[in-house]
Amino acid sequence: MSSDLVRRWEWGRGFVLASFAVMVAGLLVFHSVVPDVAGRPGSLLETFLPWLGVTVPVLLVLSLLRRSLFGLAALLLPVGAWVGAFGGVVMGAEEAAYDLIAVQHNVSDENADPAGTARALMETHAGVIAVEELTAGALPVYASTFGAEYPHHGVVGTVGLWSKYPLTDVRPVDIKPEGVGAGWNRGLRADLRMPGREPVAVYVAHLPSVRMGPTGFRSGWRDESAGLLGAAIAEDPRERVILLGDLNSTVDDRGLDPVGEQLSTAEDFAFSWPASFPVARIDQVMARKATVTKVWSLPATGSDHLPVAARIRW
Protein backbone atom coordinates (compact mmCIF):
# COMPACT_ATOMS: atom_id res chain seq x y z
CA MET A 1 0.00 0.00 0.00
CA SER A 2 1.42 3.39 -0.94
CA SER A 3 2.12 6.03 1.67
CA ASP A 4 -0.62 8.17 0.14
CA LEU A 5 -3.21 5.43 0.65
CA VAL A 6 -1.98 4.87 4.19
CA ARG A 7 -2.57 8.54 4.94
CA ARG A 8 -6.09 8.38 3.47
CA TRP A 9 -7.08 5.03 5.02
CA GLU A 10 -6.17 4.73 8.68
CA TRP A 11 -6.93 2.18 11.39
CA GLY A 12 -7.32 4.92 13.96
CA ARG A 13 -10.34 6.46 12.30
CA GLY A 14 -13.95 5.42 12.76
CA PHE A 15 -13.94 4.40 16.41
CA VAL A 16 -17.55 5.53 16.79
CA LEU A 17 -18.63 3.62 13.67
CA ALA A 18 -16.86 0.50 14.91
CA SER A 19 -18.57 0.86 18.28
CA PHE A 20 -21.97 0.97 16.57
CA ALA A 21 -21.08 -2.17 14.61
CA VAL A 22 -20.13 -4.00 17.80
CA MET A 23 -23.35 -2.84 19.46
CA VAL A 24 -25.47 -4.13 16.56
CA ALA A 25 -23.71 -7.50 16.69
CA GLY A 26 -24.30 -7.65 20.44
CA LEU A 27 -28.01 -6.92 20.05
CA LEU A 28 -28.36 -9.63 17.39
CA VAL A 29 -26.67 -12.26 19.53
CA PHE A 30 -27.70 -11.21 23.03
CA HIS A 31 -31.13 -9.64 22.42
CA SER A 32 -32.61 -11.70 25.25
CA VAL A 33 -30.59 -9.78 27.85
CA VAL A 34 -32.20 -6.46 26.89
CA PRO A 35 -34.60 -5.94 29.80
CA ASP A 36 -38.34 -5.52 29.37
CA VAL A 37 -38.53 -2.54 31.67
CA ALA A 38 -40.92 0.37 31.15
CA GLY A 39 -41.69 0.65 27.46
CA ARG A 40 -40.78 -3.02 26.81
CA PRO A 41 -37.59 -2.34 24.79
CA GLY A 42 -36.70 -6.05 24.75
CA SER A 43 -39.94 -7.09 23.08
CA LEU A 44 -39.77 -4.17 20.66
CA LEU A 45 -36.24 -5.13 19.62
CA GLU A 46 -37.16 -8.78 19.13
CA THR A 47 -40.22 -7.91 17.06
CA PHE A 48 -38.05 -6.24 14.42
CA LEU A 49 -34.80 -8.14 15.02
CA PRO A 50 -34.03 -9.04 11.36
CA TRP A 51 -34.16 -5.37 10.43
CA LEU A 52 -30.99 -4.70 12.42
CA GLY A 53 -29.26 -5.95 9.28
CA VAL A 54 -30.23 -2.67 7.57
CA THR A 55 -27.62 -0.91 9.71
CA VAL A 56 -24.79 -2.82 7.98
CA PRO A 57 -24.94 -1.07 4.57
CA VAL A 58 -25.38 2.26 6.36
CA LEU A 59 -22.27 1.68 8.45
CA LEU A 60 -20.44 0.41 5.36
CA VAL A 61 -21.10 3.64 3.45
CA LEU A 62 -20.12 5.77 6.44
CA SER A 63 -16.90 3.79 6.94
CA LEU A 64 -16.01 4.24 3.27
CA LEU A 65 -16.68 7.97 3.48
CA ARG A 66 -14.62 8.14 6.66
CA ARG A 67 -11.89 6.00 5.07
CA SER A 68 -11.84 3.91 8.23
CA LEU A 69 -10.20 0.49 8.08
CA PHE A 70 -11.22 0.00 11.71
CA GLY A 71 -14.88 0.61 10.85
CA LEU A 72 -14.78 -1.75 7.88
CA ALA A 73 -13.16 -4.53 9.91
CA ALA A 74 -15.71 -4.12 12.72
CA LEU A 75 -18.54 -4.71 10.23
CA LEU A 76 -17.55 -8.38 10.11
CA LEU A 77 -19.14 -8.77 13.55
CA PRO A 78 -22.75 -7.72 12.72
CA VAL A 79 -22.54 -9.44 9.33
CA GLY A 80 -21.51 -12.70 11.01
CA ALA A 81 -24.15 -12.32 13.72
CA TRP A 82 -26.93 -11.64 11.20
CA VAL A 83 -25.92 -14.54 8.96
CA GLY A 84 -25.75 -16.81 11.98
CA ALA A 85 -29.26 -15.82 13.03
CA PHE A 86 -31.01 -15.51 9.67
CA GLY A 87 -28.73 -16.89 6.97
CA GLY A 88 -30.61 -20.16 6.87
CA VAL A 89 -33.85 -18.28 6.20
CA VAL A 90 -32.34 -16.43 3.25
CA MET A 91 -30.83 -19.59 1.78
CA GLY A 92 -34.13 -21.43 2.14
CA ALA A 93 -34.70 -25.09 2.85
CA GLU A 94 -35.14 -27.92 0.41
CA GLU A 95 -38.72 -28.80 -0.48
CA ALA A 96 -39.96 -31.41 1.97
CA ALA A 97 -42.90 -33.78 1.96
CA TYR A 98 -45.97 -32.55 3.81
CA ASP A 99 -49.32 -33.86 5.00
CA LEU A 100 -51.36 -30.67 5.25
CA ILE A 101 -51.46 -27.11 3.95
CA ALA A 102 -52.89 -24.62 6.43
CA VAL A 103 -53.78 -20.97 5.79
CA GLN A 104 -54.02 -18.23 8.37
CA HIS A 105 -55.49 -14.77 7.71
CA ASN A 106 -56.70 -11.79 9.69
CA VAL A 107 -59.33 -10.79 7.14
CA SER A 108 -59.98 -7.36 8.76
CA ASP A 109 -63.33 -6.22 10.06
CA GLU A 110 -63.20 -3.41 7.47
CA ASN A 111 -62.69 -5.73 4.49
CA ALA A 112 -64.95 -4.56 1.66
CA ASP A 113 -64.62 -7.78 -0.35
CA PRO A 114 -65.03 -10.83 1.90
CA ALA A 115 -66.09 -13.04 -1.01
CA GLY A 116 -62.96 -12.14 -2.98
CA THR A 117 -60.83 -12.74 0.09
CA ALA A 118 -62.34 -16.18 0.63
CA ARG A 119 -61.77 -17.12 -3.01
CA ALA A 120 -58.14 -16.00 -2.78
CA LEU A 121 -57.57 -18.20 0.28
CA MET A 122 -59.17 -21.17 -1.47
CA GLU A 123 -56.68 -20.92 -4.34
CA THR A 124 -54.06 -22.48 -2.05
CA HIS A 125 -56.13 -25.71 -1.88
CA ALA A 126 -55.39 -25.73 1.84
CA GLY A 127 -56.85 -28.41 4.05
CA VAL A 128 -57.77 -25.90 6.76
CA ILE A 129 -58.28 -22.12 6.70
CA ALA A 130 -58.36 -19.97 9.84
CA VAL A 131 -59.65 -16.40 9.84
CA GLU A 132 -59.87 -13.62 12.41
CA GLU A 133 -61.83 -10.36 12.68
CA LEU A 134 -64.98 -12.02 11.38
CA THR A 135 -67.97 -9.74 11.59
CA ALA A 136 -71.60 -10.77 11.82
CA GLY A 137 -72.26 -9.24 8.42
CA ALA A 138 -69.32 -10.92 6.67
CA LEU A 139 -69.73 -14.37 8.24
CA PRO A 140 -72.52 -15.56 5.87
CA VAL A 141 -70.42 -14.43 2.89
CA TYR A 142 -67.41 -16.44 4.01
CA ALA A 143 -69.57 -19.47 4.81
CA SER A 144 -71.26 -19.32 1.42
CA THR A 145 -68.04 -18.79 -0.54
CA PHE A 146 -66.10 -21.55 1.20
CA GLY A 147 -69.23 -23.63 0.62
CA ALA A 148 -68.96 -27.25 -0.48
CA GLU A 149 -65.16 -27.24 -0.74
CA TYR A 150 -64.88 -26.54 3.00
CA PRO A 151 -68.03 -28.11 4.42
CA HIS A 152 -66.77 -28.34 8.02
CA HIS A 153 -66.40 -25.22 10.08
CA GLY A 154 -66.60 -23.71 13.53
CA VAL A 155 -66.89 -20.09 14.64
CA VAL A 156 -66.41 -18.58 18.08
CA GLY A 157 -66.81 -14.84 18.42
CA THR A 158 -64.65 -13.22 15.76
CA VAL A 159 -62.48 -16.24 14.87
CA GLY A 160 -63.36 -19.10 12.55
CA LEU A 161 -61.99 -22.33 11.12
CA TRP A 162 -63.00 -23.93 7.81
CA SER A 163 -61.85 -27.42 6.87
CA LYS A 164 -62.02 -30.03 4.13
CA TYR A 165 -61.96 -32.63 6.89
CA PRO A 166 -64.43 -33.24 9.72
CA LEU A 167 -64.17 -31.06 12.81
CA THR A 168 -65.45 -32.23 16.17
CA ASP A 169 -65.43 -30.88 19.72
CA VAL A 170 -65.43 -27.26 18.55
CA ARG A 171 -65.36 -25.04 21.60
CA PRO A 172 -64.19 -21.64 22.85
CA VAL A 173 -60.77 -21.12 24.42
CA ASP A 174 -60.67 -18.41 27.08
CA ILE A 175 -57.72 -16.15 26.25
CA LYS A 176 -59.36 -12.91 27.40
CA PRO A 177 -57.04 -10.76 29.55
CA GLU A 178 -58.30 -9.27 32.78
CA GLY A 179 -59.95 -5.93 32.21
CA VAL A 180 -61.16 -6.63 28.67
CA GLY A 181 -64.89 -6.09 28.24
CA ALA A 182 -67.55 -8.74 27.89
CA GLY A 183 -68.17 -10.21 24.45
CA TRP A 184 -64.47 -10.49 23.63
CA ASN A 185 -64.16 -14.02 22.21
CA ARG A 186 -61.03 -14.69 20.17
CA GLY A 187 -60.08 -18.27 20.88
CA LEU A 188 -61.30 -21.54 19.34
CA ARG A 189 -60.30 -25.19 19.60
CA ALA A 190 -61.41 -28.14 17.47
CA ASP A 191 -60.40 -31.71 16.73
CA LEU A 192 -59.35 -32.17 13.10
CA ARG A 193 -60.06 -35.70 11.84
CA MET A 194 -58.08 -36.59 8.73
CA PRO A 195 -58.51 -40.06 7.20
CA GLY A 196 -56.30 -42.73 8.73
CA ARG A 197 -54.82 -40.42 11.39
CA GLU A 198 -55.30 -39.69 15.05
CA PRO A 199 -57.27 -36.50 15.69
CA VAL A 200 -55.24 -33.30 15.79
CA ALA A 201 -56.12 -30.39 18.06
CA VAL A 202 -56.39 -27.16 16.05
CA TYR A 203 -56.41 -23.79 17.82
CA VAL A 204 -57.38 -20.48 16.23
CA ALA A 205 -56.46 -17.39 18.22
CA HIS A 206 -56.33 -13.64 17.86
CA LEU A 207 -54.24 -12.08 20.62
CA PRO A 208 -54.72 -8.43 21.61
CA SER A 209 -52.90 -5.76 19.65
CA VAL A 210 -49.77 -4.05 20.89
CA ARG A 211 -49.42 -0.29 20.82
CA MET A 212 -46.61 2.20 20.44
CA GLY A 213 -47.03 5.33 22.53
CA PRO A 214 -45.13 8.01 24.45
CA THR A 215 -44.24 5.43 27.11
CA GLY A 216 -42.96 2.88 24.58
CA PHE A 217 -44.17 -0.57 23.53
CA ARG A 218 -47.39 -1.57 25.32
CA SER A 219 -48.03 -5.30 25.19
CA GLY A 220 -49.48 -6.20 28.58
CA TRP A 221 -52.79 -7.58 27.32
CA ARG A 222 -51.08 -9.41 24.46
CA ASP A 223 -48.63 -11.04 26.85
CA GLU A 224 -51.37 -12.03 29.30
CA SER A 225 -53.43 -13.55 26.49
CA ALA A 226 -50.36 -15.44 25.23
CA GLY A 227 -49.94 -16.89 28.71
CA LEU A 228 -53.54 -18.13 28.76
CA LEU A 229 -53.18 -19.62 25.28
CA GLY A 230 -49.90 -21.33 26.17
CA ALA A 231 -51.45 -22.84 29.28
CA ALA A 232 -54.43 -24.19 27.32
CA ILE A 233 -52.14 -25.80 24.75
CA ALA A 234 -49.91 -27.27 27.45
CA GLU A 235 -52.94 -28.94 29.06
CA ASP A 236 -54.41 -30.23 25.78
CA PRO A 237 -54.61 -34.04 25.85
CA ARG A 238 -53.97 -34.38 22.11
CA GLU A 239 -50.40 -35.25 21.21
CA ARG A 240 -50.43 -33.21 18.00
CA VAL A 241 -51.49 -29.58 18.07
CA ILE A 242 -51.69 -26.93 15.33
CA LEU A 243 -52.05 -23.23 16.14
CA LEU A 244 -53.27 -20.74 13.54
CA GLY A 245 -53.63 -17.14 14.49
CA ASP A 246 -52.89 -13.47 14.48
CA LEU A 247 -50.66 -13.44 17.55
CA ASN A 248 -49.64 -9.79 17.18
CA SER A 249 -46.11 -11.00 17.75
CA THR A 250 -43.13 -12.47 15.97
CA VAL A 251 -41.77 -15.78 17.19
CA ASP A 252 -38.62 -13.98 18.43
CA ASP A 253 -40.63 -11.76 20.78
CA ARG A 254 -40.29 -13.03 24.36
CA GLY A 255 -43.90 -12.01 24.97
CA LEU A 256 -44.87 -15.08 22.97
CA ASP A 257 -42.68 -17.44 25.03
CA PRO A 258 -45.62 -19.21 26.73
CA VAL A 259 -46.74 -20.30 23.26
CA GLY A 260 -43.29 -20.77 21.76
CA GLU A 261 -42.34 -23.14 24.57
CA GLN A 262 -45.12 -25.49 23.41
CA LEU A 263 -44.94 -25.11 19.63
CA SER A 264 -42.50 -24.42 16.81
CA THR A 265 -42.65 -23.10 13.26
CA ALA A 266 -40.52 -22.79 10.14
CA GLU A 267 -37.74 -20.21 10.11
CA ASP A 268 -39.13 -18.22 7.20
CA PHE A 269 -39.60 -14.45 7.12
CA ALA A 270 -43.03 -14.53 5.38
CA PHE A 271 -43.78 -10.99 6.58
CA SER A 272 -47.54 -10.46 6.91
CA TRP A 273 -48.04 -6.97 8.38
CA PRO A 274 -48.81 -4.33 7.33
CA ALA A 275 -50.04 -5.44 3.93
CA SER A 276 -48.92 -2.20 2.27
CA PHE A 277 -45.29 -2.71 3.36
CA PRO A 278 -44.82 -5.91 5.38
CA VAL A 279 -42.10 -5.67 8.03
CA ALA A 280 -42.97 -8.51 10.42
CA ARG A 281 -44.72 -11.88 10.53
CA ILE A 282 -47.28 -11.54 13.28
CA ASP A 283 -49.60 -14.14 11.71
CA GLN A 284 -48.39 -17.58 12.74
CA VAL A 285 -48.77 -21.25 11.92
CA MET A 286 -47.18 -23.35 14.66
CA ALA A 287 -47.29 -27.00 15.66
CA ARG A 288 -46.49 -29.56 18.37
CA LYS A 289 -45.39 -33.10 17.50
CA ALA A 290 -45.44 -32.03 13.85
CA THR A 291 -43.10 -29.99 11.67
CA VAL A 292 -44.03 -26.76 9.94
CA THR A 293 -41.69 -27.19 6.97
CA LYS A 294 -42.41 -23.91 5.18
CA VAL A 295 -44.34 -20.67 5.69
CA TRP A 296 -44.95 -18.14 2.93
CA SER A 297 -46.97 -14.97 2.41
CA LEU A 298 -49.86 -14.84 -0.05
CA PRO A 299 -50.94 -11.89 -2.22
CA ALA A 300 -52.81 -9.03 -0.60
CA THR A 301 -56.57 -9.17 -0.10
CA GLY A 302 -58.89 -6.48 1.23
CA SER A 303 -57.20 -6.74 4.65
CA ASP A 304 -54.39 -4.80 6.29
CA HIS A 305 -52.65 -8.18 6.83
CA LEU A 306 -51.28 -10.54 4.21
CA PRO A 307 -52.47 -14.16 4.45
CA VAL A 308 -49.83 -16.76 5.26
CA ALA A 309 -49.80 -20.41 4.21
CA ALA A 310 -47.79 -23.26 5.70
CA ARG A 311 -46.93 -26.85 4.95
CA ILE A 312 -47.12 -29.25 7.89
CA ARG A 313 -45.62 -32.71 8.15
CA TRP A 314 -46.62 -35.15 10.86
Residue of higher predicted confidence among 92 and 29: 29
Q: Which CATH number does the domain housing residue 140 bear?
A: 3.60.10.10
Tell me, yes or no, whether 113 and 87 share the same domain. Answer: no
Kindly report whether the peptide bond that precedes residue 237 is cis, defined as omega within 30 degrees of 0. no
pTM: predicted TM-score of the whole model, two decimal places: 0.86
Tell me, yes or no, whether 124 and 219 share the same domain. Answer: yes
Tell me, yes or no, whether 227 and 291 share the same domain. Answer: yes
Q: Contact 217/40 with Cβ under 8 angstroms?
A: yes
Q: What is the pLDDT of residues 148-171, one digit of tens each?
A: 999 999 999 999 999 999 999 999
Q: Contact 103/132 with Cβ under 8 angstroms?
A: no
Helix (H, G, I), strand (E, B) or coil at 163: strand
Q: Contact 262/222 with Cβ under 8 angstroms?
A: no
Range of the domain at 22: 3-91
Rg (CA), the chain: 22
Q: How far is CA 115 from CA 142, 150, 265, in A?
A: 6, 14, 29
The arithmetic mean of pLDDT across residues 224-228, rounded, is 98
Tell me, yes or no, whether 260 and 289 share the same domain. Answer: yes
Q: Contact 248/205 with Cβ under 8 angstroms?
A: no
Q: What is the pLDDT of residues 89-111, one digit of tens each?
A: 766 666 778 999 999 999 999 99
Q: What is the pLDDT of residues 190-220, one digit of tens each?
A: 999 999 999 999 999 999 998 876 666 788 9
Residue 283 backbone dihedrals phi, psi, to 5 degrees: -100, 125
Tell me, yes or no, whether 82 and 118 share the same domain. Answer: no
Q: How many domains does the chain have?
A: 2
Last residue in a domain, options 36, 56, 91: 91
